[in-house]
Chains A and B, each alone.
Chain A
Amino acid sequence: MSSSYSVAPLALKLVRRFSPKEKRLEGLLARLKGLRGEAHWVFLQTHGMWTAGTEGELTVEIAQSGETTLHIDHRDYKLVKALESVPLFHFAVDKLAVHKQGKDEVSPWGVHIRVKRGELAQPPSESVEVSPLAFLAATAGLHRLARSCRLQAVQSALSKEVAAALLGASASRYKAFLELYGVRDGDEVLGALAALSAGTVKASRMPEEALAAELTTAREPPRNVRAYRCLLEHLIQRRRPEVGVRRVEGGLQLYSKSGEGSSQLNEALQAISREVLGRLETYQRVLEELKGGVRGNELKLAVGFSEQMGPCDLYMIASIVELIGLSGRVEATYVLATPLSYPMAAVSSLYAALELEALGRVELVLASEDVAVSKALAEYLADRAEECTLVYLAAGPTPQVLALSVELKRRLGDRAVLIPLAPKPAAAT
């Protein structure tokens, strides 16, 4: 491998394909279903406010330093600048590179400003195609939600591996999220891991206390920056990680399936395993509790969707439902979003509605942490659970979880089954 190749940035191209199988959907999910892949990225970047498409292709380059450069077509300049300027939106790359080929092609804004900023560039010679989620992970900023997006992208890319390791070898027959866009497993894993590592390396340059205050208890600052740096270097140099997930004592572990450079890579992967996959061990508890005590022929699920959750979580729930033979009994699943988790919940619900048949009819419910709204939500769910069992997978803000748990129990009694989405704590002996 030449030295120039080893330092060339890794280029991730946003997939534009999205042609899901026919299925009748309503509301926002119907709207999202009709849009191409890059519009899903705009939706996620704008905190679910816009669904604009782009004129040209989008590619993001990730350098070994963690620095990111977004390559855009000159016709999309205004859109990208607008994404950058609104504080609510998540977009934040280090550099912008604009492509304008051909003398005669007219730019909507002229090229003068781009020449002035040195933004005109050649497109990358080679790239790998990734889903809107992995692309979002590479192009989002360094705030708390962006870190959650990066972890969700890795979890989603490895969802089949995680389900197999946690629940059993042939855990699920369902397509993973990336397959919805026709993206290859290896490319998505490469892109998502590189985005996570680059984001962590960049965040490590920020003052530790400021970062800790931003991330809070729900998401702690990364502790293994050296491992992430090593992983990023490896990904950029080798380009083809074959990463697997196995279950070991103490939880889930990432490992390298390939022999090449595996000891260094394995060390880095093991060091970040807990941070990347630890939360998903909660599904072992969900499996046990669902197996244990759900009565009634007809079930409805209400999934509290916290800002740490993504498509992988719905994949895991569908896999569990199928594994324990409940798939025919789940009539509907309500994905309970808050204003913070709403864009990811919407894209994840779209995926679930299209692919995860075990979850029945999927409805995105946009609520909030207000106590009054949570009580109204409990009433709404109880109305829909007449003569059936409602399983509430509890996650999200404390006021919502508390109000929903108390109200659902009060209204439905034993027909409300409460399962916290948190790993099972060990009992003292």
Chain B
Amino acid sequence: MRKVFTALFSFVRSKSGSINLPKPLYVEPAFTLYYPDMVYSNPRIAEVDLLVIFEGGYACVELKRRASRAAEDSLKYFVISLAQQPVFYAHSGSQGELGTVHHPTPFLVPWEKLRQQLVGDESQLSSYVESIAEGRKELFPLDNFLRLLLVYGSPSVCEALLSSPFLSRLSEKFQLVKTRFSQICAVKLIPCKSDPPHQAQGASGGPAPERVEKIVAVIPTLNSEVYQKLVAEAIECYADRISAREVILTCTRRSERDAVGILEMLEKSGRVQAYKEVVESGRGKDLEKAWAERISELCETSCVALFVGEVPKGVLTKLAESFARGERKPKLAVLVWKPKLDPERVIGCLKAGDLTETEKEVVLNVVEL
């Protein structure tokens, strides 16, 4: 059953250092996994320069400028006994420096030869990377989870999850999800309902942003100066994008400190006119109601309500109810993490055999509802 996976392990290494691998179904450069907590922090779990997907398994390839670095890096994989991650290394430097290495050497091959075998048609890879990057802008947390399943999930868990009705619906709706489904099915040897698409289509681009004048940001307690800074940067970036020049930061007494922190940063850069407004519970009104009503009042026609962090759920449900009653219904937006991946840069780095600086960070971005 796992004949191809077995073939991967019994690959032939010739005297010139090249190897003969079975033909991969997919090759994904700059494959990064994050812990699935997408609210505040995004600690990276693993970074793989090239994830090579075969029927029945996958291989991780690390690209090294210097062959001697491969030996050091390979030590970190020694403890992973059951995680099924055969790692081999490709280097774009000279073979001669290996004589000075003090560790056992991992399986190391010249990148140029491996590139010809794995990548083949570069334009095909380029369009695949572009479609993945585009899809991840829209579906970052979900795609991250499907990647986790691809790498760590047991076949039985994957099979049970992939057959669930909602995930099946998502795979019909989003090309990225469909691609991940077929990759998971191939790696775990699960019968796949959909045809395996070899090249995914990019996600559909949204409409051009409408002009708005004012952003009403809803600031709950954040408890982190780093997060305040990220929020301020995201607001500025968004204001630039939609040509808004005024930002109102609504907060409560509890979250006032965070609003002040963001306000100071916005004032310092001076790109938008910003001020804060503290909402308090009024006579006969609880704080949730008072806050929801104030947001609704502040949001006029050319305005966007931007929700940051963990806004109290009561405020959100009350706003949804007031919009449904036909009261003001502004444009709504939320802050979410998105990966910073430049497909052209990835392809360029891949040619050079060095992917160390590709998807190094995720940034907070505004997404409109």
Contacts and interface: CB of A to CB of B under 8 A. Distances in A.
Interface of A: 27-28, 30-31, 43, 46-52, 78-79, 81-82, 84-88, 144-145, 212-214, 216-218, 220, 307, 338-340, 342, 363-373, 375-377, 380, 394-395, 397-399, 401-403, 405-406, 408-410, 413, 418-422, 424-429
Contacts of A31: 156-157, 160
A368 B324 contact: no
Given A368-B141, A373-B170, A405 B320 contact: yes
Contacts of B222: 217
Interface of B: 33, 35-41, 43, 45-46, 79-83, 138-142, 144-145, 148-149, 152-154, 156-157, 160-161, 163-167, 169-170, 173-174, 220-224, 226, 280-289, 307-314, 316-317, 319-321, 323-324, 332, 334, 336, 367-369
A46 B317 contact: no
A261 B161 CA distance: 49
Given A27-B164, A213-B226, A371-B336, A403 B79 contact: no
Contacts of A307: 37
Nearest to B290: A428
Contacts of A426: 281, 286
A428 B282 contact: yes
Given A88-B152, A217-B221, A368-B145, A409 B81 contact: no
Given A85-B83, A145-B37, A397-B38, A429 B152 contact: no
Contact of A82 (B80, B139, B161, B332): B80
A206 B285 CA distance: 41
Contacts of A420: 288, 312-314, 316-317
A413 B323 CA distance: 11
A371 B306 CA distance: 13
Given A27-B164, A87-B35, A409 B324 contact: yes
Contacts of A49: 148-149, 152-154, 157
Contacts of A144: 37
A425 B288 contact: yes
Given A47-B148, A50-B153, A50-B157, 17 more contacts: A50-B152, A85-B80, A212-B223, A339-B148, A365-B166, A373-B170, A380-B165, A394-B316, A394-B317, A398-B316, A399-B336, A402-B316, A406-B332, A409-B320, A421-B313, A428-B281, A428-B285
18 contacts: A27-B161, A27-B164, A46-B152, A81-B79, A86-B80, A339-B145, A339-B148, A368-B142, A370-B140, A373-B139, A380-B169, A401-B316, A402-B311, A413-B324, A420-B317, A422-B313, A425-B287, A429-B284
User: Which of A78, A218, A365 has the most C-beta atoms of chain B within 10 angstroms of its own C-beta?
Assistant: A218
- Most chain A Cβ neighbours within 10 Å, of B154, B286, B317: B317
B220 A427 contact: no
A101 B160 CA distance: 38
Nearest to B337: A369
Given A49-B149, A371-B334, A424-B286, A398 B139 contact: no
Contacts of B283: 428-429
B334 A51 contact: no
A406 B317 CA distance: 8
Given A212-B223, A418-B321, A427-B285, A370 B138 contact: yes
Nearest to B148: A88
Contacts of A27: 160-161, 163-164
A78 B35 CA distance: 23
B80 A402 contact: no
B309 A398 contact: yes
Contact of B38 (A220, A340, A395, A419): A340
Contacts of A402: 307, 311, 316, 319-320, 332, 334, 369
A397 B39 contact: yes
Contacts of A418: 317, 320-321
A428 to B, nearest CB: 4
A375 B369 CA distance: 9
Nearest to B336: A399
B314 A422 contact: yes
B255 to A, nearest CB: 9
B229 to A, nearest CB: 13
A339 B334 CA distance: 19
Contacts of A342: 36, 145
B36 A367 contact: no
B142 A403 contact: no
A398 B310 contact: yes
Contacts of B336: 369-371, 399
A372 B142 CA distance: 10
Contact of B152 (A86, A370, A377): A86
A394 B317 CA distance: 8
Contacts of A340: 36-38
A373 B142 contact: yes
Central interface residue in A81, A87, A370, A373, by most chain B CB within 10 Å: A370
A374 to B, nearest CB: 9
Contacts of B139: 368, 370, 372-373
A409 B321 contact: yes
Nearest to B43: A87
B141 A339 contact: yes
A216 B40 contact: yes
Given A87-B45, A398-B316, A366 B161 contact: yes
B141 A370 contact: yes
A88 B223 CA distance: 25
A14 B141 CA distance: 33
Contact of A85 (B79, B284, B310): B79
Contacts of B282: 428
A216 B228 CA distance: 13
A417 to B, nearest CB: 10
B313 A394 contact: yes
Nearest to B141: A368
A139 B369 CA distance: 40
A424 B286 CA distance: 9
Contact of A369 (B141, B149, B163, B169): B141
B314 A217 contact: no
Given A217-B222, A366-B164, A398 B169 contact: no
A401 B309 CA distance: 12
A409 B322 CA distance: 10
Contacts of B289: 427
Nearest to B85: A86
A380 to B, nearest CB: 6
A87 B47 CA distance: 12
A282 to B, nearest CB: 9
Nearest to A392: B317
A86 B83 contact: yes
A199 B38 CA distance: 24
Given A85-B81, A365-B166, A406 B154 contact: no
A334 B302 CA distance: 37
A339 B312 contact: no
A78 B148 CA distance: 21
